[in-house]
Amino acid sequence: MQHRVLPKSISRPRRLPTSLAFALVFASVSGWVGAQEPGTQLEGKAIAEHPAGKAILEASRLLKNGELGRVQMMSSRDVRDEWIALSDEYKQEDAEAARLSAPDPETFARDLESRGVMTFYADAAELSVPSEDGAGVALGILRLEDGIWRVTAGPKFIDFGPGENSEPQFRGAEILDHEIGKLLLSYGAALAVDVDSAMFLATEEAQAERLSLSPEEREESDRYRRSMFSDMGDLIHLIQESGALYVHSGTAYFNGYTTTSTPGDDGTVNFTSSSVGIGLALEDGAWKIAN
């Protein structure tokens, strides 16, 4: 994001653009490209020429122009319905949050063609675009639905500050051996029992912000926190299969995503993608959940 460094905590977690460190948005492009072989990678200009790359480039332009509504209305039916149901106030807040976190479109397009890497996982794709100075990274996730590549997360710019490296230091199973990986598992296990107990694993600031919410907002926030880690087996799978962990000068950022498929009644296959982004911070020498 263009402002430093990560959102402070979850405030209205039902509506993902303002509640996750990874703002979820959707876009589509004309044309059809089938699923790629798992592990296939595109780099640089080849991304910009692929429908998935065109979709995420268009999403960056719309988001930076404050047009989250247009992006959402090109999305799946459930996302459109949720967007339509939001009040005008919430729509404006979400659009502004997405605008602030989106990378500058021109810089994003230039960096994508110079250093971008898009990795395909059959019906999903992950994009990573380090900035020219290496101090930040733009991230995005897409999935293939109805023959169209749709952006399901990002593009969101994460600014790590001067002199930092934008590449993830830990990926997949190796995250589970890191202190932060153990924290994520403990947090997930605690949430399954009691949110109040789980919040002892969060920073003092995150705890205070949760307590400042109205009872209705806190209930909604707690419901979302639990939904992020509803099954420990799913959490471990998420970390092992797609987890990326960035650690930088007292702050850290974890992101991962899952794609599931279910058969439709008419013989089609329905794909559902979800992503999780979590900010962390060092507090009194220990890693804590920051948002």
Helices (H), the chain: 16-19, 45-49, 51-64, 68-73, 77-85, 88-101, 105-115, 179-191, 195-198, 204-212, 215-228, 232-242
Lowest mean pLDDT among 20-34, 41-55, 131-145, 166-180: 20-34
Is 8 among the domain residues? no
Q: Please give the pLDDT value at position 33.
A: 45
Measuring CA to CA, how many Å separate 105 from each of 57, 78, 154, 225?
Answer: 7, 27, 12, 32
Task: State the average pLDDT over residues 93-97.
Answer: 89
Whether 18 has a pLDDT exceeding 50, the answer reads no
Contact 273, 267 (CB under 8 A): no
The number of domains in the chain is 1
Q: CA-CA-CA-CA torsion for 1, 107, 139, 149, nearest 10 degrees?
A: 130
CA-to-CA distance for 53 and 122, rounded, in angstroms? Answer: 16
Residue with tokens 């590449």: 167
In this prediction, residue 31 carries a pLDDT of 31
The whole-number pLDDT of residue 65 equals 94
Asked if residue 9 belongs to a domain, the reply is no
Instruction: Answer yes or no: is pLDDT of 227 > 70.
Output: yes
Q: How far apart (Å, rounded) are the C-alpha atoms in residues 118 and 126?
A: 5
Give percent of the chain above pLDDT 90: 32
Read off the pLDDT of residues 40-73 as tens digits, 9 standing for 90 and up.
Answer: 889 999 999 999 999 999 999 999 999 988 887 7
CA distances from 121 to 24, 41, 117, 147 (A): 19, 9, 13, 15
Q: Is residue 262 part of a domain?
A: yes
* Per-residue pLDDT at 19: 30
Tell me whether residue 271 is in a domain: yes
pLDDT of 35: 54
Q: Pick from 159, 222, 128: which is nearest to 1 by CA?
A: 159
Could you tell me which residue, 91 or 134, shows the higher pLDDT?
91
**pTM over the 0.75 mark:** no
Question: Tell me, what's the pLDDT at 178?
Answer: 94
What's the confidence (pLDDT) of residue 26? 31
Position 204 pLDDT exceeds 80: yes
User: Which DSSP letter does residue 288 get?
Assistant: E
In a domain, 114, yes or no: yes
Residues 116, 121, 127: CA angle, nearest 5 degrees: 20
Query: Which of 103-112, 240-249, 250-259, 270-279 holds the top average pLDDT?
Result: 103-112
- State the average pLDDT for the chain: 78
| Residue 3 domain-assigned (yes or no) | no
In a domain, 2, yes or no: no
Is 5 a domain residue? no
* More confident position, 253 or 163: 253
Q: Which residue has the higher pLDDT, 145 or 42?
A: 42
- Dist. CA 47–CA 140, nearest whole Å: 12
288: pLDDT confidence band, cut at 50, 70 and 90? Answer: very high
Residues facing residue 245 across a β-bridge: 170, 254
Condensed to tens digits (0 to 9), the pLDDT of residues 255-274 reads 887 666 667 676 655 555 56
Secondary structure of residue 42 in the 3-state scheme: strand
Structural domain boundaries, residue 73: 16-289
